[in-house]
Structure 1
């Protein structure tokens, strides 16, 4: 025989969808949120995003070529997405050198130290973000806010995020009625005219991108919807019991990194479970941990920590919720 017959493990599915195409679908889905960030933060958002993307691409190339001496995979889109998502989790006024450090950690430690795309346990962008948050807490929590007709980074003024305002106010004995006048309205949070990381403000833009990914079948609804519903139910219970000391579910869903995390980071194909049941358990865990950190932890936000914690449980979830092997016997009970 001139041509060898290659027998590989099932499933045997023929499709024109490649990892590269999936990655660039994610990039397309992130465009609406990026455009909003440019409108709100001006050139600052562009500088942060460009620095993160370029750094991630350069570090992936250099590490693979000179340290690992492996195949160069810069063109597959994964490093590009890591750079964009890292940028989306940063304030627009953060120094460029910190972005470079975060990119090195995201690519070098979060991704390539595990073997590259498909082998990393944790979401690389969140590894970089959490490293920066722990190492440089002041710079990572200094939030430039939206300024009318803002055209330059220097025009920005600093302010707290809605969750930060609530956390600080409650710590000093204020009630939600007193705090309410200092936080953006639901409409402002929908549109993105708030303080925060450059990619997490506009709920509408993130929902558009998330719906696009679901329609394109890049992701399924199981993780984002389950995570958001879990957060809404938990925060809703506390809010109904004591609305003066707990924010409403609307505020928790529309502010912070809930939507960005639900649609774009928790759904990472490499670091999320394989089965639908596993995805639901995974998403419930993220929602529960996020709410616990937000309500009772030191940080006003908890999405990044929650996703990374649940990333560590993914191998266990995959082991327990295994799909039935093709050709396996099914026990039928006859009554």
Structure 2
């Protein structure tokens, strides 16, 4: 007689904490460059301000989780580092001029409203950081688009508006493709430098933290749709759309969130297709130049339906035959 234990039978040394730690490490290049970039563009004052904004947002997320779990008498989950990741992603989606208290309010919203009220990590129906970002956009639209400090003078015009905004309004960006790739322009703290983001992506791929099905499908479908919708065959126009805004950041760091993305292989392709299509629609026909956050959140809501359609059939199960046949 064999004694068979209950599942799972295949175990791994990978834990939630180790995954979150790897994500934090992968976000560090974009974080460090974002702080440097604002120091370079607007002076050391705004580099320090960017660093403090990130720290306060992370602290707000961690404290919100700690206090909520104390009040509700839940087991503490601070050691899984998920609150730190949420705070970092939210902060990197903010401009350096964003008020501190509003960023901390966003951290509270992400943890308490989006995450904990739905059961905590693994139960939230949308990405907490993106849910908070959209909340801040709706509540403080002016602050969320204030990429240029009003007390700074004599700065090159390329820093006064994001390249993606000028690309949508005029058909060309105020920054060159090279500047957009290396991050020499204004924007949110974490989205500007594609090189820094790709360094983090390589780390996540090497560590086998993310599956490339979603981000690559997302980017490919977006590329096709943005060219079709804008009736353009200019490769530079496409490259600027890929480098502008939060597309790379969103595709690799937010759309791949384990909780809010499909677990089936086919479902991940469908998820990526929906993301690319929606982002292209929002960027081309929407009132704002960006669309990544709303596309990801909308597709997060579709995940249960996508998984229902793509769930694999259990081995040995066949459809019942109808009577009379």
Q: Which structure 1 residue ranges, 5 or more long, are not aligned?
A: 146-152, 170-175
Structure 2 partner of 1:101: 105
Q: Is residue 235–residue 247 contact of structure 1 (8 Å, CA) maintained in 2?
A: no
**How far 1:262 sits from its partner (Å)?**
0.4
Structure 1 partner of 2:43: none
1:278 corresponds to 2:261: no
Change (3 A) 1:124 1:6: farther
Partners of 2:266 and 2:195 lie apart in 1 by 28
Change (3 A) 1:323 1:7: farther
1:168 corresponds to 2:173: no
**How far 1:168 sits from its partner (Å)?**
3.3
1:254 corresponds to 2:243: yes
Q: Is residue 83–residue 103 contact of structure 1 (8 Å, CA) maintained in 2?
A: yes
Where 2:73 maps in the other structure, the secondary structure is coil
Q: Is residue 235–residue 248 contact of structure 1 (8 Å, CA) maintained in 2?
A: no
Q: Could you tell me the TM-score, scaled by structure 1's length?
A: 0.86
Where 1:248 maps in the other structure, the secondary structure is helix
Structure 2 partner of 1:192: 183
1:202 corresponds to 2:193: yes
Structure 1 partner of 2:118: 114
1:79 corresponds to 2:103: no
Cα deviation, 1:40-91, whole Å, max 9, x if unaligned, reads 011122011101100000000001111x210111111100000000001100
State how 1:116-195 maps to structure 2 within 5 Å.
116-144=120-148, 159-169=160-170, 176=171, 179-180=172-173, 183-195=174-186
Q: Which structure 2 residue ranges, 5 or more long, are not aligned?
A: 39-46, 320-325
Equivalent position to 2:36, from 27, 36, 39: 39
Cα deviation, 1:296-329, whole Å, max 9, x if unaligned, reads 011110000000000000011111111344x545
Change (3 A) 1:47 1:281: same
Partners of 2:316 and 2:48 lie apart in 1 by 57
Structure 2 partner of 1:309: 298
Cα deviation, 1:117-149, whole Å, max 9, x if unaligned, reads 01111000001100000110000001038xxxx
Where 2:148 maps in the other structure, the secondary structure is strand
Partners of 2:6 and 2:311 lie apart in 1 by 19
Q: Could you tell me the TM-score, scaled by structure 2's length?
A: 0.88
